[in-house]
């Protein structure tokens, strides 16, 4: 995309956002890659790399393995280093919301970056990594409170049950209340922005088809097929860059 085409696309997106009363931002892993969090289905994504190494994500990230082999399940997920921070895309959405723009986020991510950025309307389809719970007694733990045994398995300090994150893994269903709220959000929104996702899960595909508003915009590294929905604008760039450039053109209530 040339600079002229890019500027035209930014202004077109801004126009859609300004005329919309309710904006649904449906985001996937690509919204957090600029925070240093890898995605799943891109060329160098987690699932892609696993499959290239003849490892099946449906097996290694299946909820059944938490009890069948908890040490293997949790140890492959431990990653030392600094915690990621919200990127410019998260911050732009949160700032626009604070200025009175009705932007409702539906995210497939579990990283909590939208909330850290300060966004108040966030629906997490796949749960989150902030809240953990004991699989035996149901006690709730925050991520920072989790203690691990000698095998690297998080344990409840009362009954030694396995403590797991409130994440929806393969083999589990998304929270029904969250799904229903997501359906409602899509039905009442005027503008749907699909960003940083391949829409590869059946739930994602079903949900976006419920949109009944005026315009659909895709911001993604790869084109998406969302028929029968018509795409009004496709921007093949990183999500954060696009949102940063569009922000000055958005009219807000403050």
**Up-side HSE of residue 245: CA atoms within 13 Å toward CB?**
17
- What is the structure's pLDDT at 201? 87
And the tokens for 171? 């083999």
- In sequence order, the 6+-apart residues with CB closer than 8 A to the CB of 216 are 191, 192, 194, 226, 229, 230, 231, 232, 233
- What is the structure's pLDDT at 200? 84
Positions annotated as catalytic residues are: 126
Average confidence (pLDDT) per 10 residues, the chain, 254 residues:
77 98 96 86 64 71 92 76 88 98 97 97 96 98 94 96 96 96 98 94 94 96 88 96 97 85
The DSSP code sequence of 143-183 is GGG-EE-TTS-EE-TTT-PBEEEEE--BT-PPPHHHHHHHH
The alpha carbon of 38 is separated from its chain's Cα centroid by a whole number of angstroms, namely: 12
Among 37, 60, 34, 35, residue whose Cα is nearest residue 47: 60
Whether the full predicted model's pTM is greater than 0.85, yes or no, is yes
- What is the structure's pLDDT at 67? 93
Radius of gyration of the chain (CA): 19
The alpha carbon of 182 is separated from its chain's Cα centroid by a whole number of angstroms, namely: 13
What's the CA gap between 133 and 137, in Å, rounded?
8
- What is the structure's pLDDT at 47? 56
- What is the structure's pLDDT at 39? 72
Domains in the chain, CATH or no CATH each:
1-37+85-126+172-254 (3.40.50.1220), 41-83+129-167 (3.30.1600.10)
How does strand 147-148 pair with strand 140-142? unpaired
Name the 3-class secondary structure at 96. Answer: helix
- What is the structure's pLDDT at 227? 85
pLDDT tens digits along 164-175: 999 999 899 999
pLDDT tens digits along 34-52: 998 887 666 666 656 666 7
What's the CA gap between 5 and 248, in Å, rounded?
18
Distance from the first to the final alpha carbon of the chain:
33
- What is the structure's pLDDT at 40? 66
């Amino acid at each position: 995309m040339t600079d002229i085409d890019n500027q035209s696309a930014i202004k077109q997106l801004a126009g859609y956002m300004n005329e919309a009363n309710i904006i649904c931002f449906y985001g996937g892993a690509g919204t957090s890659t600029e925070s240093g969090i890898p995605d799943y289905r891109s060329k160098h994504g987690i699932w892609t790399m696993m499959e290239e190494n003849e490892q099946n994500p449906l097996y290694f990230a299946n909820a059944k393995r938490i009890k069948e082999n908890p040490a293997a399940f949790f140890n492959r997920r431990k990653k030392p280093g600094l915690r990621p921070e919200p990127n410019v895309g998260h911050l732009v959405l949160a700032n626009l919301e604070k200025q009175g723009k009705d932007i409702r986020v539906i995210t497939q991510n579990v990283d909590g970056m939208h909330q850290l950025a300060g966004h108040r309307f966030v629906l997490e389809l796949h749960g989150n990594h902030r809240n953990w719970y004991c699989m035996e007694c149901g006690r709730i733990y925050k991520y920072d409170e989790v203690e691990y045994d000698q095998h690297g398995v998080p344990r409840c300090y009362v009954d030694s049950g396995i403590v797991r994150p409130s994440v929806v893994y393969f083999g589990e269903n998304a929270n029904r209340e969250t799904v229903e709220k997501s359906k409602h959000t899509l039905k009442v929104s005027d503008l749907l922005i699909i960003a940083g996702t391949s829409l590869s899960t059946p739930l994602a595909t079903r949900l976006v088809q419920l949109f009944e508003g005026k315009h659909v915009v895709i911001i993604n590294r790869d084109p998406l097929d969302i028929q029968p929905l018509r795409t009004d604008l496709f921007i093949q760039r990183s999500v954060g860059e696009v949102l940063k450039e569009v922000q000055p053109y958005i009219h807000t209530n403050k």
